[in-house]
Structure 1
Amino acid sequence: MTFTRYAIYFAPPQGADWSRFGASWLGWDMETGAEVPHPEIEGLDVAAITATPRKYGLHATMKPPMRLAEGYCQADLEAACTALAATQAPVALDGLQLARLGRFLALRPLGDESALNALAAACVRDLDAFRAPAPEAELARRRANGLSPAQEQNLSAWGYPYVLDQFRFHITLTGKMPKPELPSVEAALQAHLIPLLPAPFVIKDLALMGEDGVGRFHLIHRYALTG
C-alpha cells in the first residue's frame, strides 16, 4: 500500500479488551486496516459521535502526521524508528482517566508525565529530518484556530503547534460535541470502557502509521522500546 503521510503513534496493545472496545467504538481497526461494527448503546449515535476521529484509529499522537521529505522513502523512516526505539525505555504511568478536552472526550494519563513527554519530544525531534515542510494552506488552517506565541513557534519549527512544551498526551474518543450531549457520552464510556483500562498504563512500543489515499491510518510496524 502507498501512503500519503506518516505518523508516530502510541497504539494500544493488540488483543487487549480496551483496544478491541476502542476500535469498535471508533469503527476503525488500524491494526487490521478494516472497519468494525460500532457497539450498540441505547440513546447514542456512536457513528456520529466518532466520525471525526475514526480515520485515525484509537491512538495518541507522538509525532504528528507528515509527508516525507524529498530524498527519503518509507524504508529510511522505518530504519530511523528502529534506531529511535533502541534509545528509549518503556514508560509507566498510574493509569488512564476519561477527560473533557474542550468539547471532546479523550483518555488522559494518571501520574507523572515527565518521561512520557520526553518520549514524545524525542519522536518529534529525532525524526524531523523526514518531515517535508507543511503546505501554506495547512499552516493557515492551523493559525485560523488561534495560536499562542509558543504554539506559533512550534508550528514554524516543527510543522505542528501542539508539540514539546505544548504537548498533552491524549487518546481521542469523540469529535466535538454540544455541551449538553457530553454527560450521556461520558456515562456510556464510564460504563463500557473505563472498567477495561489498564493500571498501571505502560507504553512498551511506538507505532509507525501510514495514511492511505482516503485518509485512514494503518499500522505499519511496532517498535519495542528497549533503551
Structure 2
Amino acid sequence: MSKPRYAVYYAPAADSALWRFGSSVLGYDALTGEDASFLVPPGCDPAVWPALTEEPRRYGFHATLKAPFELAQGRSEEHLRAFARNYAAGLEGVMLAGLSVTALGSFVALTPSVPSDDLQRFAFTLVQAFEPFRAPLAEADRARRLKNPLTPAQHAYLEAYGYPYVGDAFRFHMTLTGSLPGDQVAQVKQTLEACYAAALPAGPVRLDRFALFKQSERTGRFRLLDSYPFG
C-alpha cells in the first residue's frame, strides 16, 4: 500500500462562487469528497465531459503551490498541520487583478489576468518553507517528471524541491480540463469563458488562504484536509 501524499494548494473558500464554479466544472468537491453535479459548457457533450475532466478531478479544484509529496522521516500529519496553521497566521493576502480562462497547450485553466511579482515571490517562499516536510523524491516519480523536456533550471528545481515548476518556472493556474483534442481547445476555452463570466463578477481576486490536501493512496482522489486563512 502506498504512503499518503500531501500538497499545499491555493483553494478558495468552500462557500465562495469560485469554489463552486471550479468544483462543478470538474464534477468533484474535494471538501466533501463527493461527486458534484457537472457544469457542462454549452456546446460540449455531457456524455463526454466527464472524460475530459477526469485527470484534474483526481486532484480537486486548486492551484498548486507545493506539489504532492510524501512526508519526510520523523514528520507526521499533525506536525504538518500545526506548521501550516502557524505559517498562515503570519501571511498577508496577495491581490490579483483578476483571473482569466486560458488555454495552456492542450488544457484549459484559470490564470492571473495580469502577471504578479508578489504572487511569484509568495509561491516560492512557501515552497521553501514547507520543504523540510517533503520526503526525497522516489525514483519512479523522478523518472515520470523527466519524461517531459526540462530546462537546466527546471531540472535543478526538480532535484532541490521535488518539482520542476517552482521559482521563475512557476505559473499559477487552476486547471479546468484534462488534455483536450487539438480541435476542441479553442471551443472549450470560449465556452468556459462564458460560464466563468456568468458565475463570477469581473474584478480583483484576493488569495487569502492556502489549503492542505491529502491523497490517502496513489489511486485515490485528493481531499481538502484543512484550509488556513492568512493572518
Q: How does 1:109-188 map to 2 (within 5 A)?
A: 109-188=112-191
Q: What letter corresponds to residue 211 of structure 2 in structure 1?
A: A
Q: Does 1:43 align with 2:48?
A: no
- Quote the offset at 1:186 in angstroms: 1.4
* Corresponding residue number in structure 1 for 2:29: 29
* Segment of structure 1 superposing worse, 103-112 or 120-129: 103-112
8 Å Cα contact 1:95-1:197 kept in structure 2:
no
Pairwise CA RMSD: 1.6
- Quote the offset at 1:3 in angstroms: 7.0
Q: Does 1:75 align with 2:83?
A: no
TM-score by length of 1: 0.93
- Identity over aligned pairs, percent: 40
Q: What letter corresponds to residue 106 of structure 1 in structure 2?
A: A
8 Å Cα contact 2:99-2:110 kept in structure 1:
yes
- Quote the offset at 1:37 in angstroms: 2.3
* Segment of structure 1 superposing worse, 202-211 or 29-38: 29-38
Q: Select the residue among 204, 207, 217 that pairs with 1:203.
A: 207
* Corresponding residue number in structure 1 for 2:101: 98
8 Å Cα contact 2:43-2:191 kept in structure 1:
no
Q: Distance in 2 between matches of 1:174 and 1:153?
A: 29
Q: Does 1:222 align with 2:227?
A: yes
Q: Distance in 2 between matches of 1:80 and 1:16?
A: 25
- Quote the offset at 1:124 in angstroms: 0.7
Q: What letter corresponds to residue 10 of structure 2 in structure 1?
A: F
Q: Which SS does the other structure have where 1:31 is aligned?
A: coil
Q: Distance in 1 between matches of 2:174 and 2:198?
A: 16
Q: Distance in 2 between matches of 1:15 and 1:21?
A: 11
TM-score by length of 2: 0.92
- Quote the offset at 1:65 in angstroms: 0.5
8 Å Cα contact 1:96-1:197 kept in structure 2:
no
What CA deviation, in whole Å up to 9, does each residue of 1:175-207 have, x standing for no partner? 111211112211221221233335210011110
8 Å Cα contact 1:28-1:54 kept in structure 2:
yes
* Corresponding residue number in structure 1 for 2:90: 87
Q: Does 1:20 align with 2:20?
A: yes
- Quote the offset at 1:30 in angstroms: 0.6
- Quote the offset at 1:112 in angstroms: 4.3
Q: Which SS does the other structure have where 2:54 is aligned?
A: coil
8 Å Cα contact 2:95-2:206 kept in structure 1:
yes
- Quote the offset at 1:21 in angstroms: 2.4
8 Å Cα contact 2:80-2:133 kept in structure 1:
yes
Q: Distance in 1 between matches of 2:109 and 2:174?
A: 5
Q: Distance in 2 between matches of 1:37 and 1:94?
A: 29
- Quote the offset at 1:4 in angstroms: 0.7
Q: What letter corresponds to residue 51 of structure 2 in structure 1?
A: A
* Corresponding residue number in structure 2 for 1:57: 60
- Quote the offset at 1:138 in angstroms: 0.9
8 Å Cα contact 1:3-1:210 kept in structure 2:
no
Unmatched segments (≥5 aa) in structure 2: none
* Segment of structure 1 superposing worse, 4-13 or 183-192: 183-192
8 Å Cα contact 2:210-2:227 kept in structure 1:
yes
Q: Distance in 2 between matches of 1:25 and 1:8?
A: 21
